[in-house]
Each structure stands twice: as C-alpha cells, then as structure tokens.
Amino acid sequence: MLSFWQWAIFLGLITFGSGVHCIGQQTCVAFQSSSSTFPIVTKGQGTPVFLSADEWPGVQRAATDFVSDIQQVTGVKSSLSNVTVTGSTVSKKASSVIIVGTLGKSSLVDQVVSHAKLDVSSVEGQWEAFFAKQVKNPLPGIDSAYVIIGADKRGTIYGLYDHSEQFGVSPWYWWADVPTTKHSELHVTASGCSHGSPSVKYRGIFLNDEQPSLQNWAMEKFTNGTGAPLTGSPFNHFFYTKLCVHVVRFKQNAIITTYFVYRFELLLRMKANYLWPAIWSSAFDIDDPENQPLGDWWGIVMGTSHQEPMMRGTPIEWDLFGSGPWDYGVNAQNIYNYWVYGAERAKPYESIFTMGMRDKEVEGYYDDGMRVPDDITLLWTDDNFGNIRRFPVISERNRTGGAGVYYHVGDPRDFKWITTFEQMSLAIDRNADRIWIVNVGDLKPYEMDTEFFIAYGWDASIWTPENLNSFVTSWAQREFDLPSQQSLQVSNIIAGLTRFNARRKPELLNSTTYSLTNYRE
Ligand SMILES: *[C@@H]1O[C@H](CO)[C@@H](O)[C@H](O)[C@H]1NC(C)=O
Ligand SMILES: *[C@@H]1O[C@H](CO)[C@@H](O)[C@H](O)[C@H]1NC(C)=O
Ligand SMILES: *[C@@H]1O[C@H](CO)[C@@H](O)[C@H](O)[C@H]1NC(C)=O
Ligand SMILES: *[C@@H]1O[C@H](CO)[C@@H](O)[C@H](O)[C@H]1NC(C)=O
C-alpha cells in the first residue's frame, strides 16, 4: 500500500507554499504596508486590541496569546483592554484598533455590528465560523478597526490563531521549538480572512501509549534519575514550572494537568476542538478536579476513549470507586450509579459521552444487528492495516447522530497510522464527518501527521491529490523557518522516509522479512 505522502507524490507535482508560513489558509497577512492593508504593528507601534469583559474566558485567554504572538514576531507589545461603549462614549480612545469578539456574547461586537451596520450573515449561527476585515467608523470616535468576529466561542479563538499562524507562530512553537521569523512591520489585508464551518464537526486527538517516550523524557529532563517516592512519577515541580506558569494552581499529584494545559493550546492553534485524555494510570477528573472545568474554560470538548463510558476514566476510576464486577449482566445497579455520577459531573461542561461497554470491541454487535438510538454517533475504526472498516451505508446517512472515525492502534499488529490517511477523503465522501479522532500515541514523533489529520477535518475542500505535497513543503518551511528551496530538501527527506517505511511498515516486520545474509538486504 502506498503511504499517504507517497501517494501524494505519485499523483501530484511538488508545489510550493506561498512566502507566508501558513498551511492551506487564505492569506491575509503582509509584512509591509500597502494601500490595501491595515497595520497590526508599524514603525514600532502596535495597534491596540479591544475586547469585551463579557466575552468567553477562552477567547479572553486566546487574545492574550494573540498579543504575545504579535510581540514574538515584532518585538512590540500591543495593548489589550476590555472596552465599553456608553452612548457615544468609548471607554478607550484610539483612531485605529483591532476589535475581537463573539457574536451574541461580546457586547462590544454587538455594538460594532449595530453602529457600523455590519453584515454578519456570512457566519451568524454557523458552528466555529469566523470572519475578519477592516471596518470604517466601527464605533463613535474610532476611524477604523480590523475586526475578528466569531460566530461562537471557538470561531473567535480560531480567528485569532489563524492570524497568529500567518504572522509566523507555529502551533508547535513550544512542543517542537519552532522558531518564529522576525518582522518589524506586520499588516493585514483590508479584506481580511474568513472561514465557515469546518468539514468535520469534532476534530480531536487521543493521547495513548504515553509511556515510555513522554515519561522517559520527563524523567531525564526533570529528575536526577528517581521519580516521586510514592508513584515513581517524573512529573515533579521542575517539570511543572518548566512547562507553564499555571502550575502553581495544581496539586503535586496532578501529573497530567499541566501537560494538558499545553495540549489545549496546541489543539486550538491547530483548530482541533476535542480531546480524549491519557488513560494509562491516569483518570482525567481524578488526577485533578480542575481538569474538566479547565478544558471547558479553554474551549475544548472533552471525551473519554472508546473503553471509558459516561465520562469516567475506566478502569482507574472503577477500581478506586466501583464495587463488584465490571459486568452489567450481574452488577447493573452499581455500574448504573457509577455512570450517573460521571454524567452529573460532566453536566456543566461541553462533552461527548462514550456510550456502552466494551469487552471485546463492539462493532461485531452492530454487524450482528444490535441498533442504537438515532442520536448516537457511530464511530467506525480502521482495521489496523490502514483501511477504515466500514462507512455509513445510505440508510444510515440520515441518522441525526451521524457517523465518525476513530483512527486507532491495536491488535493484531499494533498498526501505527503514520502517514496513512488516504482513507480520510473516503470518510468525507461517505458522510463519516461528525467526529474524527486519532490516536497519537504520546504525540511527539507525529507532529506533521497529527496536524494534517486535523487540517483535513477542518477544511477537506482544500486538499486534493494534486496539491497534497504542498502541505509537506509548507509545513517544512514553517517548522524549520526555511526558504522554499531548502524546504524542498526537508520534504524530500520526509517523503523518502515514508516511502521506505511504506515498503514494509515497521510494525509488520518480523524475523523473516529480510535476509541478514543474502540479497544484500
Ligand atoms: C477583561 O475582563 C475579564 C472579565 O472580567 C477579565 O477576566 C479579563 O482579565 C479582562 N481583560 C483585560 C485585558 O483586562
Ligand atoms: C539534581 O541534582 C542537582 C545537583 O545536586 C540539584 O541541584 C537538583 O536540585 C537535583 N534535581 C532534582 C530534581 O532532584
Ligand atoms: C433514512 O433513510 C432511509 C433510507 O433511505 C429511510 O428508510 C428512513 O426512513 C430515513 N429515516 C429518516 C429519519 O428520515
Ligand atoms: C512473518 O510475517 C509473515 C507475513 O506477515 C508471516 O507469514 C510469517 O508467519 C511471520 N513469521 C514469523 C516468524 O512471525
């Protein structure tokens, strides 16, 4: 089977991304001014950013990233303020400003819409949509604004991060030490950028197989070779403080918490919205009671893996709090109560509940005729050899719950999905587009592939066999801060690696695959 990139190269010509280091996006950023641009930073001055105090906290937080991203690129720190409008008085004065907010949530944005008679019909009511553009006389006493307006919380957050990426800040700036190209001038086009609803409603990753890579890394970086006395965990306060300032709020035993704080940011920068947390020796809500509210606060929809029904980390939580066997046939009341607790605990937050119990995998039950309520999403998996087992047939395509794909890792070969996503275009064609989630192991070696999975779910219309390789070249250009010719060398290495890998997937090697003595193998 051809690997994804090999397939791309086989079918397509190598093309180059634009000079701006962003992947597959509409381009609305310029590093010099012209008659059709609006300044973000010019001549050492940053345009002030206006928000509303009644905005979503997740948008407030992303706006602080937006301002620090501008500083990262230009060295100039723009002001960020909550602004109110009373009658014809705006609480802060400036002739030119950036206004950020969510329709129906930010009273500032509502005032801009009514004062400037702004047409918002292109995004209003659309899941995660946003637009950005220059608006003249947005508010009394303000000549001009660049508005970034989301139809909902994540629409606004994605609008901000879409610009950040085009400014030159990679979603991976922290996780992969990606350098940011410096510019003294930073502008946006007056016509701005926009995006409608994503192709796939919920786009996420599953952290699984978190050992040994992340644990060993933390053990090496943050301890002198010995983990914590009780747990053996390397995730001590050295690890915490290195990772992020939020640390002080978390308890010593909350090993996963800080780790996820950064995950949340990475996910949102990639325009993902959904997370299945790590499950090996951990349970998201038990590791730290702040995990679930924090995920929601950031704007992430939480779920649990296919083996953990009703938002409870199972088996860890069941072993701690359950009683009797994990068997609904003989222990129904205890399991029922356990699930009710999970449902109540998650009630205030945006969540997707995994339904039913898994002993063996459950697709066989469905194949044998078991049916589930119409509003439950059917999540189909791959077959461990890269092929998605099944897509919705015509009679299933009008179910209100829709269908999705869990691209996983499992027996018999523990198939690793690296660069083997050509099936995802079938998922789009066959309406398996409600939920996409991919098992990313401990994340680290799979940056480009993870980002492609999410980017394709964000906008499947952009990527075709003909332009697919430009994802690799744009990615190489952005991640290594290289001119296009050198990024081609990087993408050749990446493509070559996957080509050699695809000749025989590492997980399919055994002692008989190659001869150690003959055929120059
Ligand atoms: C704006 O107001 C919100 C809500 O009170 C607050 O959390 C946030 O820190 C404020 N932002 C700024 C930049 O002052
Ligand atoms: C490791 O040893 C060094 C030198 O003795 C010490 O400064 C440091 O605090 C130790 N780190 C940990 C995590 O114990
Ligand atoms: C969905 O489609 C199938 C087959 O086309 C049809 O039999 C069924 O009545 C439809 N269900 C609904 C709820 O429209
Ligand atoms: C190695 O893999 C081949 C093909 O997948 C299989 O036929 C063979 O039995 C395997 N041999 C061993 C020793 O596992």
Q: What is the mean pLDDT of residues 293-300?
A: 87
CA of 500 to the centre of ligand 4 (A): 20
Q: Which atom of ligand 4 is nearest to the CA of 510?
A: 1
Note the pLDDT tens digit of each residue in 188-204: 999 999 999 999 999 99
The whole-number average pLDDT for the span 142-167 is 97
Looking at the CA of 512, name the nearest ligand: 4
User: 103: which residues sit within 8 A by CB, 6+ positions away?
Assistant: 109, 110, 113, 120, 123, 124, 149, 150, 151, 152
Mean of all residue pLDDT scores within the chain: 84
CA–CA dist 298, 260 (Å, integer): 11
Query: Which residue, 402, 375, 451, is CA-closest to 175?
Result: 451
**Cα end-to-end distance, the chain, whole Å:** 21
* Total Cβ atoms within 10 A of residue 330: 10
CA 53 to ligand 1: nearest atom: 2
Domain boundaries, the chain: 1-23+464-521, 25-195, 202-462
Q: For residues 414 and 417, what is the distance between their CA atoms, to the nearest angstrom?
A: 9
Q: Could you tell me which residue, 422 or 514, shows the higher pLDDT?
A: 514
pLDDT of residue 507: 73
- Ligand 1 probe mutation, 51, 66, 78, most atoms within 8 A of CB: 51
Q: What is the pLDDT of residue 16?
A: 32
In this structure, which ligand is nearest to the CA of 399?
A: 3
Please list the residues that pair with 276 across neighbouring strands.
206
The answer, yes or no, to whether any atom of ligand 3 lies below 6 A from the CB of 248, is no
pLDDT at 126 over 50: yes
Pairwise pLDDT comparison (495 vs 242), residue with the higher score: 495
pLDDT at 239 over 70: no
Test site for ligand 4: of 385, 510, 511, most ligand atoms within 8 A of the Cβ: 510
**Angle separating helix axes 469-480 and 447-458, nearest 10 degrees:** 120
**Atom 5, ligand 3: residue with shortest CA distance:** 395
Q: Is the CB of 228 under 6 A from ligand 2?
A: no
Summarised one tens digit per residue, pLDDT across range 385-409 is: 778 899 999 989 999 999 999 988 6
From 441, 367, 443, 372, select the one nearest 409 (Cα to Cα): 441
Name the CATH superfamily housing domain 25-195.
Chitobiase/beta-hexosaminidase domain 2-like (3.30.379.10)
DSSP 265-300: HHHHHHT--EEEPP-TT--HHHH-TTHHHHHHHHTP
Question: What is the arithmetic mean of pLDDT over 38-52?
Answer: 98
**227 CB under 6 A from ligand 2?**
no
pLDDT at 309: 94
pTM for the model: 0.87
What is the 509 CA–ligand 4 centroid distance (Å)?
8
Instruction: Give the list of residues 6+ apart from residue 312 with CB closer than 8 angstroms, or none.
Output: 283, 285, 304, 318, 338, 339, 341, 342
pLDDT at 318: 92
For the ranges 14-28, 155-169, 219-233, which has the lowest average pLDDT? 14-28
- Ligand 1 binding pocket, CB closer than 6 Å: 53, 60, 80-82
Assess whether the previous peptide bond of 315 is cis (omega < 30° from 0).
yes
Pocket test for ligand 3, best of 371, 378, 394, 395 (most atoms within 8 A of CB): 395
Q: Which ligand approaches the C-alpha of residue 509 most closely?
A: 4
Closest ligand to 393 CA?
A: 3
Give me the CATH topology for the region 202-462.
Answer: TIM Barrel (3.20.20)
- Ligand 2, residue 223: give the atom nearest the CA: 13
Ligand in nearest proximity to the CA of 511 = 4
Checking if the pLDDT of 258 tops 80, the result is no
User: Which pLDDT band, with edges at 50, 70 and 90, does 417 fall under?
Assistant: low
Ligand 4: residue of 512, 513, 516 to mutate (most ligand atoms within 8 A of CB) is 512
333 lines ligand 4 (CB under 6 A): no
Tell which wins on pLDDT, 7 or 133.
Answer: 133
Residue 248 has pLDDT above 60, yes or no: no
